Amino acid sequence: MSIEPRTEAPPFELLGVDGADHSLDDYRDAKLLALVQYCNHCPYVLAWEGRLMALARDYADRGVRVVAVNSNDVARYPEDSFERMQERDRELDFPFDYLFDESQALALARGAERTPEVFLFDEERRLRYRGAIDDSRDDRAVTRSYLRDAIEALLAGEEPPVAETESVGCTVKWKS
Amino acid sequence: MIELLYWQGCPSYPEAKTLLEQVLTELGRDDLVLMTEVRSDEEAERLHFPGSPTIRVDGRDIDAEGADSRPALNCRIYHLPDGRVSPVPSREQMEAALR
């Protein structure tokens, strides 16, 4: 079950690929915080990856923080191990923190279902948009940029035009 | 024989099936596509299933690059001719395998 709109962001403290622990409070200065359910092995994540990196760079100076979170079961999906997360970060130099939710507690608390899946929180850390980054995994076929539109609206003090969309992607790989 | 192996947990197989059927029609072929659902890690191992969807023509994977990946219930990674990543094989891959 996913969390409802305007639900408060669940607290967390997770290890990042930089070797440091990162908590929700570490992002207290951000106007908006986008927690993105993420992983290494999913083709949908890879298809959207360039767009998410561009978005993180585009809004970094406007107080928007993007944080990717991998919660997958690494026993069954070793491609998503913390070491592989670090390799991927070294390879691509992610413009966002990439955190390892080994216990899956953060994914459970947010009701995450897919990778990639966005949870955008406002300055009071209330959920204001949940779902897909945009409306097509094919970057040439995008007609609606849900996440960008939600960010622009919130930065302008307005309601996001769409509060929730269906995420298309791989399932979160839960521990059995 | 054309076989499409899939896992319900990955949403890409209906798109792959539709594209495969389009390519078959365009090539003037009336082959039936055998749909095989892979339901468990054990089945993935037994069927050498490297991810969903996997398409085999006369037993040969249409994407040799990923054919030997670790068997698993996951979405399979394909690369389009322009290098972009896709969860579905390209039309070109299908055409090459079916000609």
- Give the domain CATH number at A118: 3.40.30.10
| Closest residue in A to B89 (Cα–Cα) | A43
In a domain, A104, yes or no: yes
DSSP letter at A78 equals G
Answer yes or no: is pLDDT of B82 > 60. Answer: yes
Contact B84 A76 (CB under 8 A): no
Contact B74 A168 (CB under 8 A): no
Answer yes or no: is pLDDT of B56 > 90. Answer: yes
In a domain, A5, yes or no: no
**Structure-block tokens of residue B52:** 């969903």
**Closest Cβ opposite residue B86 in set A47, A77, A173:** A47
Residue A2: what pLDDT?
A: 67
Pairing of strands A64-70, A32-38: parallel
Cα(A65)–Cα(A151) distance, rounded to whole angstroms?
11
| Closest residue in B to A79 (Cα–Cα) | B70
| Closest residue in B to A140 (Cα–Cα) | B84
- Return the residue matching tokens 């050498």: B48
**pTM attached to this predicted model:** 0.95
Mean predicted confidence (pLDDT) in B42-50: 97
Residues of chain A with pLDDT under 70: 1-2
Q: Of B87, B41, B10, B74, which is closest to residue A48 (Cα–Cα)?
A: B87
End-to-end CA distance of chain A: 18
The percentage of chain B sitting over the pLDDT mark of 70, rounded to a whole number, equals: 100
Contact B76 A43 (CB under 8 A): yes
Q: Please give the mean pLDDT across all residues of chain B.
A: 96
In a domain, A30, yes or no: yes
With an 8 Å Cβ cutoff, the interface of chain B facing chain A consists of: 9-12, 41, 72, 74-78, 84-87
The total of structural domains in chain A comes to 1
Cα(A73)–Cα(A29) distance, rounded to whole angstroms?
31
Cα(B7)–Cα(B72) distance, rounded to whole angstroms?
10
* Domain limits for position A18: 13-171
In a domain, A6, yes or no: no
A161 and chain B: CB distance < 8 Å anywhere?
no
CA B10 to chain A, closest CA, distance in angstroms equals 6
Check if the beta carbon of residue B77 is closer than 8 Å to that of residue B83: no
**Closest Cβ opposite residue B75 in set A42, A76, A138:** A42
